[in-house]
Chains A and B, each alone.
Chain A
Amino acid sequence: MGDEGGAATGEAIVEARDLNFYYGAKQALFEITLAVRRGIVTALVGPSGCGKSTFLRCLNRMNDLVDGARAVGGLTLDGEEINAGGRDVIELRRRVGMVFQKPNPFPKSIYENVVYGLRVAGVRDRGRLDAACEESLRRAALWEEIKDRLRESALGLSGGQHQRLCIARAVAVKPEIILMDEPCSALDPRSTLKIEELVAELRGDYTIIIVTHNLQQAARVSERTAFFYEGRLVEEGETGRLFTNPARRETEDYLTGRFS
């Protein structure tokens, strides 16, 4: 699905080159150079405050909402500069979806939640909306559970269902990339498992970048892992290799729990 233009899985879809990021005077990212590959799951790990979320939010320019935030350096999506002056942010965000740490369903019906992205994009056709709703909910493994309750308020669902609904909502606009910022940290173990299965399910069709503090989770769901430390990218590589045989001292310290 994300493979339009014949681009093959494994090629770089996002490339950061010497990316620096500042919150006003405070620098949050230093010289990040990283290629995220198409169609696979990339995990971002690292201690709290190391800049994982900041990096993630650079990709769909959610940092624009912060006063005084500023990115310097190269950051491309499909070879096009993300921070270019005339870039259409709305179009960018349709291509780069996001799932937040805390499930944030809208206070609307389940149906309206799922088709929200399409509605704001101007889609009016009932049939298209219905089809997109069903397909997205199926992809999010939610259809069977709630197909009879589409008109009910989304707020009546459980926390785990909320998060899957948010994933369905992101999937409905058919993005190329889905960013997930600690999507399971507010969920119980069973819901977490479901989300992990879902990520595995979506892999291949979408490029997924997931931030997690749970190293087992990173090991379970991702093909590649990037380790951030104090605003710098320390090491990036194939997940199995990085976990068993880290190249850098900081990575090893972090993996063995010497700091967190």
Chain B
Amino acid sequence: MAGGNGGFARDGKFWITLFGAALAFILLMLAVPGYLIVKNSLAALWPAPLERVRLRDGGVFLGRRVNSDLSPGGQVRIQYKVGNRELNASADFRWVRELDIAGIDFPEQAVALTRSENGDFFGFWLEDGEAGTGRPETLALKLEDYRRRREAEAEPPRRRLIELGERWRETNLAILKAAYPAESPEGRRLAGLLADEAEIKAESERILGVFNGIREDFLAERETFAAADSTRTLLPLDFILEAIWPNRLGFFGRLAQFFRNVRGLILDYPRSANTEGGLFPAIFGTVLLVFLMAVSAFPLGVAAGVYIQEYAGNGFLSRLARVAVNNLAGVPSIVYGIFGLGFFIYGVGGGLDSLLYPERVAAGINTFGGGGMLWSSLTLGLLTLPVVIVATAEALATVPSEIRQGSLALGATRFQTLWRVVIPLAAPGILTGFILAMARAAGEVAPLMLTGAVKSAHLLPLDAEWPFLHPERKFMHLGFHIYDMGFQSPNVEASKPLVYLTALVLLILVFAMNLAAICLRQRLRNRQGMKGL
């Protein structure tokens, strides 16, 4: 074969090369965004040293180097995160040309504060108002002491306020109910409720007064900090969530801080209009959403797939059903979102509301008739159903007929054959289809925007409050979070690192779910004694 004219094309090397190139191209298309996401995420989490940059024009600032590139003019540019939003006209980042830099040093005294407002602060602590004297240990002690006192004094009234708020909400709903319809015979109950409400309100106001007093005292405890250019600023200790001295950290100190940052990312709530803080509610919402989706779609999809493949026969109607299911898999997800909004929220949810809570409907309050976890997960379930059905039918079709016949010949009924032999054999294939469907659903955003995902929801759909699962609550979602921070944020530049981090977390989550499903599938196969993937 080889050596002759056109041997390259004829012996298939040409095609093999072409296929290889296609694969390489695809891998590249995956690697580039993957690299960008990982690189930017690590840069955002790694506590790099703070550089004091002196510019040739006399300016000076403290910043953390995050990026560098070649500007259009062919100059090397460096991007710094400079923080200090309130001093820098809200710009968290700053590009400088290498040319313009006169000198860089790493002052030991530089402190990086994570704040509950206005993002990070990079500067110096002026212990007793004097420059260059701030010692880390003293600030740490101060913060610790401050927090202990705040916990002891301000926490109890704060908790009580939250409790009262919840009771007030419940009482109000009860009042609505007792007062509906207007001529209800429950007048006395209503009077009692109204008295309760007045009492709750009075206590709330009283405690709020106490709380505000305490809070003001606490907010008055302030420390002086200075930016690199000596601009002084008084910061309430209350705003300081964490103070680190990056230039004093060794490698292991940095590593420890890195992991603290990772933990914060996963376990903290977002702050400052989602531009700071962690992703906890979004991670939680995403996982719960996918879980509820799986629970609703999997049994239904498998049952439908089994029926189509095993019982529906090959008549006109069943062929029509197959075509319909296949086409459903291609319907854009936003269409499902609109369907979910119209059918689940307005239809089913509205119906439930007028059935269960007519008094709330009359007052214009939604319970199930608004977007929520339940409707979102059902909409996603609907979206994944076709994939699950098709995968199930195909997996069943690949079970060899000899195996079925073997079972039938032993006196098993069709259903016993299906249940005991065919479905276990098809299970790995069904699971594979389901994995794909789940991965798709976890990254879906469009339908969620219409059915209950929100930019900020501090009440989780699952918590310690009876009845624990609150399927009517709105929720946060990683995919929606990316969209919201990247395109809807008042400070897009500031939220950029979090956009990368969110994308990374979402990818890891999808990857972990896939991995878990693959392990499950592998275990099923091993149990049947089959080898390989």
Contact B406 A94 (CB under 8 A): no
| Closest chain B CB from A105 CB (angstroms) | 8
Please name all residues of chain B whose beta carbon is closer than 8 Å to the beta carbon of A7 when the two chains form the complex.
none
B532 contacts partner chain A, Cβ-Cβ < 8 Å: no
Q: How far is the CA of A155 from the CA of B411 in the complex (A)?
A: 22
Interface size of B as a range: 20 to 34
Q: How far is the CA of A119 from the CA of B425 in the complex (A)?
A: 18
| A170 CB contact (under 8 Å) in B403, B410, B421, B529 | B410
Contact B408 A116 (CB under 8 A): no
A93 contacts partner chain B, Cβ-Cβ < 8 Å: yes
Contact B412 A106 (CB under 8 A): no
Please name all residues of chain B whose beta carbon is closer than 8 Å to the beta carbon of A65 when the two chains form the complex.
405, 408
Contact B529 A152 (CB under 8 A): yes
Contact A155 B529 (CB under 8 A): yes
Identify which of B403, B405, B406 gathers the most chain A CB atoms within 10 Å of its CB: B406
Please name all residues of chain A whose beta carbon is closer than 8 Å to the beta carbon of B424 when the two chains form the complex.
107-108
B402 contacts partner chain A, Cβ-Cβ < 8 Å: yes
Please name all residues of chain B whose beta carbon is closer than 8 Å to the beta carbon of A155 when the two chains form the complex.
528-530
Chain A positions 39 through 78: 1 when the CB is less than 8 Å from some CB of chain B, otherwise 0: 0000000000000000000001010010000000000000
A120 contacts partner chain B, Cβ-Cβ < 8 Å: yes
Q: How far is the CA of A214 from the CA of B424 in the complex (A)?
A: 36
Interface size of A as a range: 20 to 34
Please name all residues of chain B whose beta carbon is closer than 8 Å to the beta carbon of A102 when the two chains form the complex.
402
Q: What are 13 A-B interface contacts by the 8 Å CB criterion?
A: A60-B409, A62-B405, A62-B408, A65-B405, A90-B411, A106-B403, A107-B424, A116-B410, A116-B412, A153-B530, A170-B410, A173-B410, A173-B411
Identify which of B400, B412, B425, B527 gathers the most chain A CB atoms within 10 Å of its CB: B412
Chain A positions 101 through 122: 1 when the CB is less than 8 Å from some CB of chain B, otherwise 0: 0101111100000001101110
A132 contacts partner chain B, Cβ-Cβ < 8 Å: no
Q: How far is the CA of A172 from the CA of B73 in the complex (A)?
A: 86
A169 contacts partner chain B, Cβ-Cβ < 8 Å: yes
Identify which of B402, B409, B425, B528 gathers the most chain A CB atoms within 10 Å of its CB: B409
Please name all residues of chain A whose beta carbon is closer than 8 Å to the beta carbon of B529 when the two chains form the complex.
107, 152-156
Q: Top 8 A-B pairs ranked by shortest CB distance? A: A153-B529, A107-B528, A155-B529, A117-B410, A94-B411, A120-B412, A104-B402, A98-B409
Contact B406 A104 (CB under 8 A): yes
Please name all residues of chain A whose beta carbon is closer than 8 Å to the beta carbon of B420 when the two chains form the complex.
116, 119-120
| Closest chain B CB from A251 CB (angstroms) | 30
| A106 CB contact (under 8 Å) in B406, B408, B413, B527 | B406
Q: Which residues of B come within 8 Å of A, CB atoms?
A: 400, 402-403, 405-413, 416, 420-421, 424-425, 527-530
- Using a CB-CB cutoff of 8 Å, which residues 77-108 of chain A contact chain B? 90-91, 93-94, 97-98, 100, 102, 104-108
Q: How far is the CA of A170 from the CA of B407 in the complex (A)?
A: 10
Contact B530 A93 (CB under 8 A): no
| Closest chain B CB from A80 CB (angstroms) | 17
Contact B410 A100 (CB under 8 A): no
Question: Across the two chains, which residue of chain B brings its CB closest to A154?
Answer: B529
Also in contact, A62 and B409, with CB within 8 A (given A152-B529, A155-B528)? yes
Please name all residues of chain A whose beta carbon is closer than 8 Å to the beta carbon of B409 when the two chains form the complex.
60, 62, 93, 97-98, 100, 170
Contacts beyond the supplied A100-B406, A106-B407, A120-B407: 16 A-B pairs with Cβ under 8 Å: A62-B409, A65-B408, A100-B405, A104-B403, A106-B406, A107-B403, A107-B529, A116-B412, A116-B420, A120-B410, A120-B412, A120-B413, A153-B530, A169-B406, A169-B410, A170-B410
